[in-house]
Amino acid sequence: MSKTTAYKLLREDLKLFPYKIQFCQQLTTQNQIERKEFAEILCDKFDRKRVDVNKIIMSDEAHFQLTGYVNKQNYRVWRSDRPDTLEERLLHAKRVTVWAAVSADGLEDFQFIRDKTVNSKVYSRILKEFLSKAKSKDLCG
């Protein structure tokens, strides 16, 4: 059976659609209970105005490939014709990781991370350095 015939059978006859499998961390019943309790505590603190929303800081990191490679995991192109391109990339391409923190005041800090991987030890060091700077600016009351 050709690929086209199989596709038509699945889409047109069986009314099936291709979906990308998504992976996520398993949450146990205990995890769900703990998350709900934390959310209720946080909501209560907001309701009682015991949290200064101007002192909430969020952070994240992103990896930038120095070869120009873009992670296309969630990238889709809708076209009338199929592109006939093939992209090659290095298995262990050089990259830089950028960590940033933002608050109600805007961008608070960003760092270029030279370590090859961002593990818990590296991330702890980054947070400790940031928090010591933030305390001196009175961001962490």
58-93 pLDDT tens trace: 888 887 877 776 666 555 554 556 656 666 667 677
Q: What does DSSP say about strands 95-103 and 106-113: parallel, antiparallel, or unpaired?
A: antiparallel
The reply to whether 30 falls in a domain is yes
Instruction: Let me know if residue 70 belongs to a domain.
Output: yes
Instruction: For residue 53, tell me if it sits in a domain.
Output: yes
Asked if residue 96 belongs to a domain, the reply is yes
User: Residue 134 has what pLDDT?
Assistant: 72
Full domain range(s) for residue 49: 3-136
Q: How many residues does the chain have?
A: 141
Write the CB contacts of 109 (distance below 8 Å, at least 6 apart in sequence): 100, 101, 130, 133, 134
In a domain, 104, yes or no: yes
Interval 6-46: pLDDT, tens: 888 888 888 887 766 566 778 899 999 999 999 999 999 98
Number of domains comprising the chain:
1
Q: Determine, yes or no, domain membership for 106.
A: yes
Residue 141 lies in a domain: no
Q: pTM above 0.75? A: no
Distance in angstroms (rounded) separating the CA atoms of residues 127 and 33: 28
